[in-house]
Homo-oligomer: A and B are copies of this chain.
């Protein structure tokens, strides 16, 4: 029972990408820059600031290049973007982003519906992205993110063996990092423990991140299960924005402030100042006042005893 928890973990704030792409409000660039500045001030050091996709598809994210440029002015901030294909990767390389995440959907049905490619066609695109990156001399890391890793609203069951085959294929194609995403909120802690343990065995240090949605309330329980497999980086959105088009009103990504509280309470250092994070949440709530927000800590506040763990409790 004494599985050691890590001493440190990283929260990658993805609200500016996964959050904003799923809601109706189009946030002005100035507000997004204030969000980036606030997140940085609160101690977050990894942000996904947007996607390099055609502006007519996601007008919410049309200012991604500008946001990367702004974020790069903040010392020590690691700046990620999402790219769906080689065209987007070229934009990402030009922008100077530190990392580009290429999403792959392990569900063939979801992959064809969302990306109009089979998963293996995405793997082939990653090989081309790797070649382009290497040819450019840029240091931008390539992360292959395997989505619908725990099931899919279209296809239903997704075979864990197929998820891991595709993850291995991404590594073989030249992805520097790989991650797993519960895109539709189907995971439970048992599934997470099983799949993440196998994924970490395969990818070792190249296993980068766990991406969980809180669609059915299990987001933080799933993070807890993933922590037990040694994973120490998690995506999250301030105020839990994002949602799921298939479940109106359902919450989106794991909520940054609740996750920061859980990790902090467990004695796992994230470098985050939760008071500042809650202040930023208030700003975000003001900018997104027509959207349904999520999260719990903002209502209840921090416990009187926080941080609760004596130094060294997380051995």
Contact = CB atoms under 8 A, between A and B. Distances in A.
Interface of A: 1, 3, 5, 151-153, 156-157, 184-186, 188-191, 193, 197, 214-218, 220-221, 223-225, 228-229, 244, 247-251, 255, 258, 261-262, 265-267, 295-297, 299-301, 303-305, 308-309, 313-314
Given A5-B190, A157-B308, A191-B266, 19 more contacts: A1-B229, A151-B303, A151-B304, A151-B305, A151-B308, A184-B303, A185-B300, A189-B262, A189-B266, A191-B308, A215-B300, A217-B220, A217-B296, A218-B262, A220-B221, A221-B221, A224-B224, A248-B299, A250-B300
A305 B191 CA distance: 13
29 contacts: A1-B228, A151-B304, A156-B304, A156-B305, A186-B303, A188-B265, A189-B224, A190-B265, A190-B267, A191-B266, A214-B296, A215-B300, A216-B258, A216-B297, A216-B300, A217-B258, A217-B261, A217-B262, A217-B296, A218-B220, A218-B261, A220-B220, A221-B221, A221-B262, A247-B299, A247-B300, A247-B301, A248-B299, A250-B300
A97 to B, nearest CB: 31
Nearest to A152: B304
A302 to B, nearest CB: 8
Most buried by B among A191, A250, A300: A300
A1 B197 contact: yes
Contacts of A190: 5, 265-267, 309, 313-314
Contacts of A224: 189, 221, 224-225
Oligomer: number of copies: 2
Nearest to A248: B299
A186 B308 contact: yes
Contacts of A261: 216-218
Nearest to A194: B313
Contacts of A156: 304-305
Most buried by B among A193, A255, A303: A303
Contact of A249 (B3, B299, B303): B299
Given A151-B303, A151-B305, A304-B153, A217 B297 contact: yes
Contacts of A303: 151, 184-186, 216
A215 B266 contact: no
B313 A266 contact: no
Contacts of A308: 151, 157, 186, 188, 191
